[in-house]
Amino acid sequence: DTAVSQTPKYLVTQMGNDKSIKCEQNLGHDTMYWYKQDSKKFLKIMFSYNNKELIINETVPNRFSPKSPDKAHLNLHINSLELGDSAVYFCASSQDIKLVNVEQYFGPGTRLTVT
Amino acid sequence: AQKVTQAQTEISVVEKEDVTLDCVYETRDTTYYLFWYKQPPSGELVFLIRRNSFDEQNEISGRYSWNFQKSTSSFNFTITASQVVDSAVYFCALSDPTGANNLFFGTGTRLTVIP
């Protein structure tokens, strides 16, 4: 069974559209994250949620809105897509926010291409 | 603020050679965790190891070994007798306690093992 899954794996869309990426973890973890990996492979945190509550919201445009319907899911909705949003988006989870449980498990990534 | 430097952008070695990937970090925290992740061409992020700041013992796992030295703020990764399957981008990461203990990644080192 896949521990952290994301759908879709590939997403090609036009500028101005709204799209969502879904993430689910079956590890029973309390904390989930979204990271963005740009074309130069740089990985950066976007958001983190703990028990469905937002913990971190980095300097991300407000066109990006995470939603956590329950502990096992953290979806990423993106409005008015721009060319610069093209990247690979990774979802991850960890047991909780305690430092000793900081090990994170990553999903397979979603490659978003905006044309 | 956290900082992780992987000065080697790309490394190429011939199969069976040993190779060391460097990682230097900066943090003001006294308790933190360091990680290595592997990203093969297929794109997923594979967890390799985590080490807490109080444990400076070197670790060996098969052909992989890690050298953690607090005095030089380094956490280097050595692959012995490299194989083609080791070709990947390797990321060093540092826990970031300012929020949910998300990971702060270095820029990665692309390793190519030539048969």
Chain B's closest residue to A48, CA to CA, is B100
Say yes or no for a CB contact (<8 Å) between B39 and A41.
yes
CA triple A108-A43-B39, angle to 5 deg: 45
Query: What's the DSSP call for residue A84?
Result: G
Radius of gyration of chain A (CA): 13
Cα of B83 to nearest chain A Cα, Å: 23
B38-93 tens-digit pLDDT? 999 999 999 999 998 988 888 888 999 999 999 999 999 999 999 999 999 999 99
Considering only CB atoms, which chain A residues are within 8 Å of B108?
41-43
d(CA A34, CA B24): 25
Nearest-CA distance from A65 to chain B in Å?
Answer: 18
The answer to whether residue B90 neighbours chain A at the CB level (below 8 Å) is no
User: Between A82 and B97, where is the model more confident?
Assistant: A82
A22-73 tens-digit pLDDT: 999 999 999 999 999 999 999 999 998 988 888 877 778 899 999 999 999 9
Least confident range from A84-88, A104-108, B18-22, B55-59: namely B55-59
pLDDT at site B97: 74
CB contact under 8 A, A41 and B103: no
Q: Decide if pLDDT at B100 tops 80.
A: no
CB contact residues (below 8 A), chain B span 1-30, against chain A: none
Residue with tokens 């052909």: B63
Interacting residues of A19 by C-beta distance below 8 A, sequence separation 6+: A11, A13, A77, A78, A81, A112
Q: Return the residue in A36, A52, A104 with the most chain B beta carbons within 10 A, the one to mutate for interface testing.
A: A104
CA distance A36 to A34: 7
Chain B residues within 8 A of A45 when measuring between CB atoms: 96, 102-104
B74 exposed, middle or buried (CB, 10 Å; 0-12, 13-18, 19+)?
A: middle
* pLDDT higher than threshold 80 for residue A91: yes
B64 touches chain A (CB under 8 A): no
The answer, for B88 touching chain A at a CB cutoff of 8 Å, is no
